[in-house]
């Protein structure tokens, strides 16, 4: 079995598990730790190290990051400490864990997993994967090929960043009903639909397992909308797939 460790760094939680990359599934029960506040690189590295040690891991590791990642360097830090900006996270994490590490944008990782094993499998045209959590992550695919680091959660919508209007944490912070929040999400999807004419929206993040509570209220979007099949494990699976791909390319 070809197995890699996937670790998904989010604004509120850090999750990890070994992944059977041939099957696209977790091979052991995942662990979850709270993201340190403030989420400085050093504090997050310690949590990531702890997750790897829980599994006594010595192989390849894929790590997601909630921001732009270019060649292992984290370029933005919207929902974590600004110390991440310009950091060679791949090099630092490889040193911390003592094994090869691949770093990838978190929504890109989730999208990779969904396109390979989940709701986007065999879908052509423009597919947009959107992860609703502390912010809104996005991944764009055209005929199955990723366009990395889109970060559509930071597009301006009605005078505000979209994620400040429709992220999952906004529903909780403002005590919105699922219906009220769904109308905000619908406004955001209509905007993306106008700009990109996608063939499919995949809704990911923790809210994906509650799709029946809000998707029925999104009725003014022409594009097909489906919840992520891998739910909140998509980032972990996608991180492992990215590690596998980078390892294969370096051989």
Q: Is residue 176 part of a domain?
A: yes
Regarding whether 133 and 214 lie in a shared domain, the answer is yes
CB count within 10 Å of CB 34 equals 10
Q: Is residue 94 part of a domain?
A: yes
Instruction: Determine the average pLDDT of the residues in 140-166.
Output: 97
Give the chain's count of helices (H) and strands (E): 8, 16
The Cα–Cα gap between 70 and 184 comes to 31
- Read off the pLDDT band of 247 (50, 70, 90): confident
Question: What are the tokens at 39?
Answer: 């989420």
Regarding whether 67 and 131 lie in a shared domain, the answer is no
Instruction: Determine the average pLDDT of the residues in 206-215.
Output: 96
Regarding whether 154 and 101 lie in a shared domain, the answer is no
Residue 63 scores a pLDDT above 60: yes
Regarding whether 213 and 145 lie in a shared domain, the answer is yes
Instruction: Determine the average pLDDT of the residues in 236-241.
Output: 98
The pTM score is: 0.95
Residue 250 scores a pLDDT above 90: no
Instruction: Determine the average pLDDT of the residues in 189-201.
Output: 98
Q: Which residue has the tokens 């097909």?
A: 224
Q: DSSP assignment, residue 233? A: G
Instruction: Determine the average pLDDT of the residues in 60-85.
Output: 97
- Read off the pLDDT band of 134 (50, 70, 90): very high
Regarding whether 94 and 10 lie in a shared domain, the answer is yes
Regarding whether 71 and 167 lie in a shared domain, the answer is no
CB under 8 Å to 150, separation ≥6 — which residues? 107, 138, 139, 140
Q: Is residue 144 part of a domain?
A: yes
Closest CA to 192 of 119, 112, 126, 123: 126
Angle of CA points 85, 139, 107, to nearest 5°: 55
Q: Which domain holds residue 136?
A: 121-229
How far does Cα 107 stand from its chain's mean position? 3
Instruction: Determine the average pLDDT of the residues in 21-47.
Output: 98
- Encode pLDDT of 18-33 as tens digits: 999 999 999 999 999 9
Q: Do 195 and 24 meet the contact criterion of CB atoms below 8 Å apart? A: no
Regarding whether 166 and 242 lie in a shared domain, the answer is no
CATH of the domain at 92: 3.30.420.40
Q: Is residue 115 part of a domain?
A: no
Regarding whether 224 and 237 lie in a shared domain, the answer is no
Q: Do 103 and 185 meet the contact criterion of CB atoms below 8 Å apart? A: no
Residue 139 scores a pLDDT above 80: yes
Residue 173 scores a pLDDT above 60: yes
- Read off the pLDDT band of 249 (50, 70, 90): low
Q: How many domains does the chain have?
A: 2
Residue 251 scores a pLDDT above 60: no
Q: Is residue 112 part of a domain?
A: no
Q: Is 160 exposed, middle or buried (0-12, 13-18, 19+ CB in 10 A)?
A: exposed
Regarding whether 203 and 173 lie in a shared domain, the answer is yes
């Amino acid at each position: 079995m070809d197995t890699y460790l996937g670790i998904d760094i989010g604004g509120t939680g850090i999750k990890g598990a070994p992944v059977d990359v041939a099957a696209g599934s977790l091979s052991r029960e995942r662990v979850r730790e709270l993201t340190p506040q403030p989420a400085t690189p050093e504090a997050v590295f310690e949590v990531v190290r702890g997750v790897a040690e829980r599994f006594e891991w010595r192989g390849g590791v894929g790590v997601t990051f909630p921001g732009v990642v270019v060649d292992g360097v984290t370029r933005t830090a919207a929902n974590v400490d600004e110390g991440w900006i310009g950091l060679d996270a791949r090099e630092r994490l490889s040193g911390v864990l003592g094994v090869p590490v691949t770093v990838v944008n978190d929504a890109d990782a989730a999208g990779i997993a969904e396109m390979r094993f989940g709701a986007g499998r065999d879908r052509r045209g423009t597919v947009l994967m959107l992860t609703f959590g502390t912010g809104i992550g996005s991944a764009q695919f055209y005929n199955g090929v990723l366009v990395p680091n889109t970060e559509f959660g930071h597009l301006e919508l009605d005078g505000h960043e979209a994620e400040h209007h429709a992220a999952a944490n906004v529903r909780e912070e403002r005590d919105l009903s699922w219906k009220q929040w769904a109308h905000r999400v619908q406004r955001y999807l209509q905007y993306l639909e106008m700009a990109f004419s996608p063939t499919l929206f995949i809704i990911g993040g923790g809210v994906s397992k509650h799709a029946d509570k809000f998707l029925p209220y999104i009725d003014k979007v022409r594009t097909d909308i489906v919840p992520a099949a891998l739910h909140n494990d998509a980032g972990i699976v996608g991180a492992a797939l990215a590690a596998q791909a980078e390892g294969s390319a370096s051989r």
